[in-house]
C-alpha cells in the first residue's frame, strides 16, 4: 500500500492545470514574444482538456498560443521540463498537441523565428468589411486610442480563413462555445479593431467581435439574434463591449425589415451590458420622460421602443424599470414602495404560474402526491425569494445608472 501511495504522489507531480499552462499573446512587436507582461491565460479549458482542466504527463508544461495582433497568424508550441515516460515506462502522457490541433486551423507555425518574421506582414493587414463606427478611448499610457467597428459578410475576401483563427478564442473564454458554419450567408459579423502606430505606419489590431444570425419572421421581417460576442482579454474593461453592442443595434435599427433584436442564451454579463446600452438608447425617447415613468409601463413605451429601436416588449420593460429607479426618490417611503411593487409585479410572474399549476394539481393528484409539491410552493418561501430577487435586480440597476452617470 505504501508503495502505491508513493507511486501516486510521484505521478501527481506530472499533472498540470491547463488554464495556467496555456499562455496566450496578441503580438505587435518582436519583443512581445519574450515579455511575460503581455501573456494572458484562458478562463476555461474544459472543452479541450476535460472537466478537470488538467493535463497529465508533463512537468513545467507550457502551451504557447501566440497570435499576431491583426491577422492572427498563429504560433503553437508545447514546452515542458520533463515527461512522465522519462521515469515511468508503462505510463502514457496525454496527447496535448493533438487536442489543440483539433481546434486551430492549418497554417500555424511551430517556430518562433518564423512567427516573428510574420510580424513584418502585419503592415499589409487591413480591417475587413464596411466601417460602421469610429470611437476613441483615453489611455493614461498612450493617450487617445482610436478604434473602428466594421460589419463583414461571409463573402469578404480573406475573411473566411481569418474567422477560423479568430473563433478559436471562443473555446478559452466562453464556457459553452461552439464553432459556427460561417458559409451560411444569414450570418453577419461585426469586428472591432484598434489603430496603432509602428515605425511610422498605421496598423490594426483585432480587439473583439460579434456574430449575429438573421432569422426569418413571417411574413416579411427578420429577427437578428446575437450568437457570440467576445472582447479579447487585453482589451476587456475598456468599454469596447458597449461600443460594439450599441453600433450593432444602431445598424439593425436602420433596416426596415428588422422586427427586433434578440440574443441566444445570453449570459448574465451580456444581459447587464444590454441593459446599459438599451437604457442609453431609450432615455431620450418621448414616452420614457421622467414625468411619465411614475405612471407605469405603458403601451406607448413598448411601441416606441419597438418602432424606433427594434427593442421587444420584455427588454423595454427592463429599461423602464431602470429609468424609473433613476427618477425615483427612494428616500420617500411612498415612492419607494410604489416602485418596489411595480418591479415585484413583474418578478412575481413565475410564482403566479406556480400557483396556477398548484390549482391544476389539486384537481388531479392524490393527497400524498400533492403533499410532495406543497413545500416547493410555500407562500412564505415565495415572498422571501421574491424579496431576494428584487434586491438583486435593484442592485444591478443601480450599477447601470452609476455607469451611465459616469459616462454622461
pLDDT at 373: 54
Average pLDDT for 24-47: 97
Residue 76 has pLDDT above 90, yes or no: yes
| This model's pTM is above 0.85 | yes
Nearest to 263 by CA among 232, 280, 241, 282: 241
Note the pLDDT tens digit of each residue in 170-225.
999 998 889 998 889 999 999 999 999 999 999 999 999 999 999 999 999 999 99
Question: Is the distance from CB of 100 to CB of 67 less than 8 angstroms?
Answer: no
pLDDT at 351: 58
Which band of pLDDT confidence, cut at 50, 70 and 90, is reported for residue 348? confident
Query: Has 384 been annotated as catalytic?
Result: no
Average pLDDT for 138-148: 90
Catalytic position from the list 102, 175, 264, 369: 264
Four-CA torsion 323, 239, 48, 97, nearest 10 degrees: 180
pLDDT at 141: 82
CA–CA gap between residue 210 and residue 188 (Å, rounded): 8
Least confident of 40-44, 283-287, 343-347, 376-380: 376-380
Q: Taking CA 29 as the corner, what is the angle to CA 23 and CA 33, rounded to the nearest 5 degrees? A: 30
Nearest to 161 by CA among 71, 70, 28, 48: 71
Output the average pLDDT for the chain. 92
Which band of pLDDT confidence, cut at 50, 70 and 90, is reported for residue 80? very high
Q: Which domains does the chain have, with CATH numbers?
A: 1-122 (3.90.360.10), 126-157+175-265 (3.40.630.30), 267-407 (1.10.10.390)
Which band of pLDDT confidence, cut at 50, 70 and 90, is reported for residue 357? low
In eight-state DSSP terms, residue 370 is H
Average pLDDT for 27-44: 97
Amino acid at each position: 500500500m505504501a508503495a502505491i501511495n508513493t507511486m501516486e504522489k510521484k505521478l501527481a507531480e506530472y499533472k498540470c492545470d491547463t488554464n495556467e499552462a496555456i499562455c496566450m499573446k496578441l503580438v505587435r512587436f518582436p519583443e512581445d514574444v519574450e515579455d511575460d507582461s503581455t501573456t494572458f491565460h484562458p478562463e476555461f479549458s474544459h472543452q479541450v482538456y476535460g472537466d478537470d482542466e488538467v493535463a497529465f504527463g508533463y512537468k513545467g508544461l507550457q502551451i504557447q498560443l501566440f497570435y499576431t495582433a491583426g491577422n492572427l497568424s498563429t504560433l503553437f508550441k508545447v514546452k515542458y521540463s520533463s515527461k512522465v515516460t522519462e521515469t515511468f515506462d508503462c505510463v502514457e502522457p496525454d496527447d496535448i498537441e493533438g487536442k489543440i490541433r483539433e481546434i486551430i486551423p492549418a497554417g500555424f507555425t511551430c517556430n518562433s523565428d518564423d512567427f516573428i518574421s510574420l510580424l513584418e506582414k502585419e503592415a499589409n493587414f487591413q480591417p475587413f468589411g464596411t466601417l460602421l463606427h469610429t470611437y476613441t478611448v483615453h489611455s493614461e499610457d498612450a493617450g487617445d486610442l482610436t478604434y473602428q467597428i466594421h460589419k463583414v459578410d461571409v463573402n469578404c475576401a480573406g475573411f473566411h480563413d481569418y474567422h477560423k483563427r479568430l473563433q478559436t478564442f471562443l473555446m478559452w473564454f466562453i464556457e459553452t462555445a461552439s464553432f459556427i458554419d460561417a458559409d451560411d450567408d444569414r450570418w453577419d459579423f461585426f469586428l472591432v479593431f484598434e489603430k496603432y502606430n509602428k515605425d511610422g505606419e498605421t496598423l490594426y489590431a483585432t480587439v473583439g467581435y460579434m456574430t449575429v444570425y438573421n432569422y426569418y419572421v413571417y411574413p416579411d421581417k427578420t429577427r437578428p439574434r446575437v450568437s457570440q460576442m467576445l472582447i479579447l482579454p487585453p482589451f476587456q474593461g475598456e468599454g469596447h463591449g458597449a461600443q460594439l453592442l450599441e453600433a450593432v443595434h444602431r445598424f439593425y435599427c436602420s433596416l426596415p425589415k428588422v422586427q427586433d433584436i434578440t440574443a441566444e442564451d445570453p449570459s448574465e454579463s451580456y444581459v447587464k451590458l444590454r441593459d446599459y446600452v438599451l437604457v442609453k438608447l431609450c432615455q431620450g425617447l418621448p414616452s420614457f420622460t421622467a414625468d411619465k415613468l411614475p405612471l407605469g409601463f405603458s403601451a406607448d413605451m413598448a411601441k416606441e421602443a419597438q418602432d424606433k429601436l427594434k427593442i421587444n416588449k420584455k427588454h423595454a420593460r427592463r429599461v423602464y424599470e431602470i429609468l424609473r429607479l433613476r427618477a425615483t426618490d427612494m428616500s420617500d417611503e411612498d415612492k419607494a414602495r410604489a416602485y418596489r411593487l411595480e418591479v415585484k409585479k413583474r418578478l412575481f410572474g413565475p410564482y403566479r404560474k406556480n400557483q396556477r399549476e398548484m390549482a391544476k394539481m389539486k384537481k388531479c393528484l392524490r393527497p400524498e402526491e400533492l403533499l410532495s409539491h406543497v413545500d416547493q410552493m410555500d407562500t412564505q418561501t415565495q415572498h422571501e425569494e421574491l424579496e431576494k430577487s428584487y434586491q438583486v435586480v435593484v442592485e444591478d440597476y443601480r450599477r447601470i445608472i452609476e455607469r451611465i452617470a459616469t459616462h454622461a
